[in-house]
Structure 1
Amino acid sequence: MKPIRLFAWLVLVTLVTAACGSGTANTTVTSSTSTTTTSSTSTTSTIPPSTSTTPPPVTQDVEVFFATGDGSNCAEVTGFTRSVAADLDPLTTALDLLVLGPSAEEISSGAGSFFSAETDGAIRHVRTSEDELVVDFRDVRVALSNASTSCGSESLLAQLNGTVFQFDSIERVRYELEGSCDQFFNWLQRECVEYTRLGPEPADLSTNERALGSGCTPDGDVLGDGRWFGFVVEAEEAGVGFDLACWFGGSAAADAAAEDGEESPPPNDYYIRNVNDQLRSIDVWESAFVTWLPTADPADTRTSPYAEWLAEWPARSYRPGIWIEIENGVIVHIDEQYVP
């Protein structure tokens, strides 16, 4: 009986050992398969990045500042938000909207202004140089007659400064009328100044820079777009030979005359300085017109196509100075200047 029991015990040990060996092999394979499968699954399930882009905005917001309040503070203004096309220059657009005046909705919200549809397009040029801005107005003195009062001018300037200084890039601004800071502020019964974010400062301008129109000391030989004073020396179908001069008015006229050793203030409140005899050839637009004086009597003023004026020009004994308006490099309008 003992040999049989020994044999049975040996068989049992063998079976247990085999079972343990088989289990170890299965665990190792399962672990390896699990790792490989996880790695493979992670790689094949990666989502590619999106290629879609956000479309650019079609509008932008600017603020236009109008007078508000009960009138006790002449400089009180409030900004009113306008949405404009995103491709427009925000600064010039805001100024163009300002001179168009408040909308009916803004008026109902308390906005007021001297600007209205009557002054639409009142700005001739907007020029920037680094952080300085120059805003040049057409002659809007008739349409904005009430702006020349003490309170009216304060309100006008507050609306302009509020609209301009919303733009962080602007640190200084000068306002002009027909190219002249003196003329703008003479109209408002003030002295020519430039505005910073801290308030007004005296404008550091030479006498020639105070000439009316676009000035009389341009950079280079070519006159840019603008309004220039001078004399016609030659005239033909294609264009004119133009002698640029300086036309001064008001305090600038007195200062220029004094500098030149002439009577100051000059008679009739204007002074002409012409010390440069350079002749500039300027093309005339085919549809240009001329406002001219056949005689020295301003009551005889005429407006004619350039060709008609040209036909009369050679035989004329009275040839006053002229203002030329240049757009896109050509003369579009000639306006003869009456002097007493």
Structure 2
Amino acid sequence: MHLTKIRLFDFRNFREAEVEFSGGLNVFYGDNAQGKTNLLEAIHFLCNLRPVRTTREQDLIAWDKTKAYLKGVFYTSSGPVDRELLLKAGDRKKVRECGVERHRLSELYWQIHAVFFSPDDLTLVKGRPSERRRFLDLIIARLKPQYGRYLSEYSRALFQRNRLLKDLRRNRTLITALDAWDEQLSSLGAAILRTRAAFTEKLFPLVRKYYLYFSREEREIDIRYAGSMVLADVPAESLREVFLAALRESLPRDLESGYTQVGPHRDDLQFLLGGRDLRYFGSQGQQRTLSLSLKFAERRIFFEATGVYPILLLDDALSELDVNRRRWILEGEEPCQVFVTTADLSAIPGDILKKGRVYRIRAGTVG
């Protein structure tokens, strides 16, 4: 699977652009603040149907315009796929695939996917727990659309329970209404926890494998799912009852704070090396290597689920790696289409660069 062509109108600083790509390596070269990252973001948006990280879709429209248009032509195992996105200020995005407007975007997630990595992804390691939960949830929801529905329904139930907790401070007679939300939260939360547990069983060994390769550390990284409840040795079929009991036990704290203190919305991932938490005590190099390992594990999981490696988007990500690791990423045993941004072409081994295509990016134009 690869992207053969992209067309942009009024996307970020690109007024109008149409570019054809190689199925292998594509290098976006130029000075800073010219549009290299914006072009990567456009590819990511076309593939994953969401912006990079938490960027608002409306912010992708050129600052003095009210609409933006993107079109990508992909080659997939089932043939060519045209995908179009239309953004309009104050409106939801419209998605067309092969000329047909699509409303259930979850039906499109399996076919096309891209993995984006940049120095900002250090937040996966050193950022808030919500960053790591979001990383897990986005991957799982793309592979299992039902999981996305669990998350949406859980968030709605959590909002209602938290609102009721605040109301209970003024009117304790409402306490009987809490049972219904506890039942709903525990049922949905158990489904989320079961799905996350099955996913992390696949994810964690892959992260360890890639971390050992990229870091050349002799020590293996220890990765843990840090739950807000003690779930060790709890059978999957008992998760609902355990969660329900935890909600009731936590009620005094919940009433005091006005928020639900236990559940998958409070969970985290923990990364330990030599017993030290890399979030707080890891060097920047270790944190960057771990972030890269998480993204390559994501990429491998999609390959194992679909038989096709996702498109790889690397935003200024090669400078911290030695030449052997750069070679492995760009032409290693896990081949795929790769897009790289750089201000220095010498960061890419010359023999590899000759096999790819180089695009000079200047002020929102591609040459």
Q: Which of the pair has more CA radius of gyration? A: 1
Is TM more than 0.5 here?
no
TM-score, length-normalised on structure 2?
Answer: 0.29
Which structure is higher in helix share? 2
- TM-score norm. by structure 1 comes to 0.30
- Greater strand fraction, Structure 1 or Structure 2: 1
